[in-house]
Amino acid sequence: AQSVSQHNHHVILSEAASLELGCNYSYGGTVNLFWYVQYPGQHLQLLLKYFSGDPLVKGIKGFEAEFIKSKFSFNLRKPSVQWSDTAEYFCAVSASKIIFGSGTRLSIRP
């Protein structure tokens, strides 16, 4: 069965700090991996996705993620966060169906 774990439930950073959010998944076969973002009061939007090829993928708004197959991980990174990055971030795995992690709430101090 597919499952996804996000290690950080709430992360608080100052503007310009670097960000890394953890995501681990379990599934025995080939998967597609995603990070979605949900700004306050809005629906989920795709940040980036990994299907195959280069394990370092770049998304919108300066975000990137690295797929490490041996660790079943797909961590999200951003070198310098902005106040506007305040949101909830969800990692997702797609195999037979799309399963989401429990989410990480990111708060940015101005």
Partner 1 sequence: DAGITQSPRHKVTETGTPVTLRCHQTENHRYMYWYRQDPGHGLRLIHYSYGVKDTDKGEVSDGYSVSRSKTEDFLLTLESATSSQTSVYFCAINRGGENTEAFFGQGTRLTVV
Q: Least CB distance from residue 57 to partner 1, whole Å?
A: 12
Do 25 and 31 contact (CB within 8 A), yes or no? yes
Q: Minimum distance between the CB of residue 43 and partner 1, rounded to whole angstroms?
A: 5
Q: Are 61 and 80 in contact (CB under 8 A)?
A: no
**Residues making contact with partner 1 (CB under 8 A):** 6, 9, 32, 34, 36, 43-46, 49, 51-52, 90, 92, 94, 97-103
In this structure, what token pair is assigned to residue 99? 């399963």
Select 14 or 102, whichever has its Cβ closest to partner 1: 102
Nearer to partner 1, 69 or 97 (CB): 97
Distances (CA, A) of 40 to 10, 56, 87, 105: 15, 28, 6, 10
Mapped to the 3 state alphabet, what secondary structure does 3-55 carry?
EEECCCCEEEEECCCCEEECCEEECCCCCEEEEEEECCCCCCEEEEEECCCCC
Q: How far is the CB of 100 from partner 1 (least distance, A)?
A: 4
Minimum CB–partner distance for residue 49 and partner 1 (Å) = 5
Question: Which residue, 69 or 110, has its beta carbon nearer to partner 1?
Answer: 69
The residue among 13 and 99 lying less far from partner 1, judged by its C-beta, is: 99
